[in-house]
Amino acid sequence: MDDVDIRFFLAFLAPTLGFLVWFVKRLIDDEREERRRKKQQDSLVRALFAEIDFNTRDMERFLKRSPSEADLLKRFREDRALIPHITDARHTEIYRTRISEVHNIADGALHQTVNFYGLLEKIRVQIEGVQQASYLTLSPESRVKVIALIIESASDAAACGQELLGSLAHDHRALGLERFRFDDSRSLAELSAQRIALEGKIDALKRGRQPS
């Protein structure tokens, strides 16, 4: 009778243990997958934050250095062949290549992100219009209006970018996201000296020495 009870117990225990092993393994696999997914999401947010920061800073510099409409009109009247030099230096590689993953960020930031890159594309098209030969056929007043539209779009993009960066930093506080600070007041000589110093530290670290 005892042998029968033991066999019955083992017959019951074996599938139970099998289920527990499967269940624990499933939990471990799910946790590993969640960590992998979270790591990928954090990587995307960091990269996207840096790209948006660059583009926003570019818009801010453009707005800071843009002449007034009165100055533009004066220059256009003085030189009918003048074409303003406006470069399209936007960076969209992260957004363009990982757009299928953008939905993983917070919903509010997702809407702002799409709007931000849409504004950058709008600016690109507007800049291309200035490069067309037909631009020179416009009156000085009309040419000023075209540039004013670009400045307005850049202002919208800068404001959107600033708000978006704030949203990303808030929604992903654990990542410690901060905007890059570039001191425009530093001279080229100072920047060059800083670059050389950094390269020296990197070289020292590569050689296994402690940089001074």
Distance between CA 55 and CA 17 in Å, rounded? 57
SS3 call for 164: helix
At 110 the pLDDT is 85
At 212 the pLDDT is 47
At 200 the pLDDT is 65
Distance between CA 178 and CA 113 in Å, rounded? 17
165: how many CB neighbours lie within 10 A of its CB?
21
Distance between CA 88 and CA 85 in Å, rounded? 10
At 182 the pLDDT is 65
DSSP collapsed to 3 states, 48-109:
HHHHHHHHHHHHHHHHHHCCCHHHHHHHHHHCCCCCCCCCCCCCCHHHHHCHHHHHHCCHHH
Q: pLDDT by residue for the chain (212 residues), tens digit each?
A: 445 556 655 566 667 767 677 767 777 766 776 677 678 888 889 989 999 999 999 999 999 999 999 999 999 999 989 988 888 888 898 898 888 888 777 667 888 999 999 999 999 999 999 999 999 999 999 999 999 999 999 999 999 999 999 999 998 899 999 988 766 555 656 656 666 765 665 566 556 544 44
Contacts within 8 Å (CB) and 24+ apart, 133-138: 135/83, 136/80, 136/81, 136/83
In this structure, are residues 45 and 105 in contact, taking their beta carbons and an 8 Å threshold? Answer: yes
At 1 the pLDDT is 46
SS3 call for 178: coil
